[in-house]
Amino acid sequence: MKVSPISGFPEYLPAERIVEQHFLDVIRETFELHGFPSIETRAVEPVDRLLGKGGDSDKEIYAVSRLAAEESPGDAELGLHFDLTVPFARYVLENAGHLTFPFRRHQIQKVWRGERPQEGRYREFTQADIDVVDVGDLAPHFEAEVPLVMAEVFRRLPIGRMLIQVSNRKIPEGFYLGLGIQDVVGTLRVVDKLDKIGPGKVGDLLVDAGLRREQADQCLALAAIRSEDLSFVDRVRTLGVEHPTLDEGLEALAAVIQAGLDNAPGSMVADLRIARGLDYYTGTIYETQLVGHETWGSFCSGGRYDSLASDGRTTYPGVGISIGVSRLLGLLLGKGLLTASRSTPACILVAVNDEGGRARSTKVATALRARAIACEVAPRPAKFGKQIRYAERRGIPFVWFPPIGETGDQVKDIRTGRQVDAEVGSWTPPPEDLRPQIVRAKEADAT
Count of residues engaged in binding RNA, rule: CB under 7 A: 64
Positions 171 through 190 that interact with RNA (CB under 7 A)? none
Identify which range of 33-41, 100-108, 165-173, 414-422 contacts RNA by CB under 7 A: 414-422
Torsion of CA 271, 274, 280, 281, to 10 degrees: -10
| Residue 383 near RNA by CB under 7 A | yes
Q: Does 6 participate in binding RNA (rule CB under 7 A)?
A: yes
**CA nearest neighbour of 268 among 276, 260, 278:** 260
The site map against RNA for 271-300 (x = CB under 7 A) is -----xxx----------------x-xxxx
For residue 420, the tally of other CB atoms under 10 A from its CB is 10
Neighbours of 74 (CB within 10 A): 4
Question: Which among 5-13, 143-151, 339-347, 432-440 is the span making contact with RNA, rule CB under 7 A?
Answer: 5-13
Q: Judged by CB under 7 A, which of 230, 259, 382, 434 binds RNA?
A: 382
Question: Residue 58 or residue 214: which is nearer to RNA going by CB?
Answer: 58
In whole angstroms, give the CA distance from residue 127 to residue 131: 13
Q: Which residues contact 142 (CB under 8 A, 6 or more apart)?
A: 102, 132, 319
CB of 148 or CB of 378, closer to RNA: 378
Interaction between residue 261 and RNA (CB under 7 A): no
- The binder of RNA chosen from 233, 327, 333, 373 (CB under 7 A): 327
The span of 132-140, 223-231, 248-256, 376-384 binding RNA (CB under 7 A) equals: 376-384
String of contacts with RNA for each residue 120-159, x by CB under 7 A: xxxx-x-x--------------------------------
Question: Would you say 283 or 324 has its CB closer to RNA?
Answer: 324
Which of 38-43's residues contact partners 24+ apart within 8 Å by CB, and which partners?
38/105, 38/106, 38/107, 38/108, 39/88, 39/91, 39/105, 39/106, 39/107, 40/107, 40/109, 41/81, 41/84, 41/87, 41/88, 41/90, 41/91, 41/107, 41/109, 42/87, 43/80, 43/81, 43/109, 43/110
Interface with RNA (CB under 7 A): 2, 4-10, 58-59, 83, 113, 115-123, 125, 127, 193, 196, 276-278, 295, 297-302, 322, 324, 326-328, 330, 334, 353-354, 357, 381-386, 388-389, 392-393, 401, 404, 410, 412, 414-417, 419
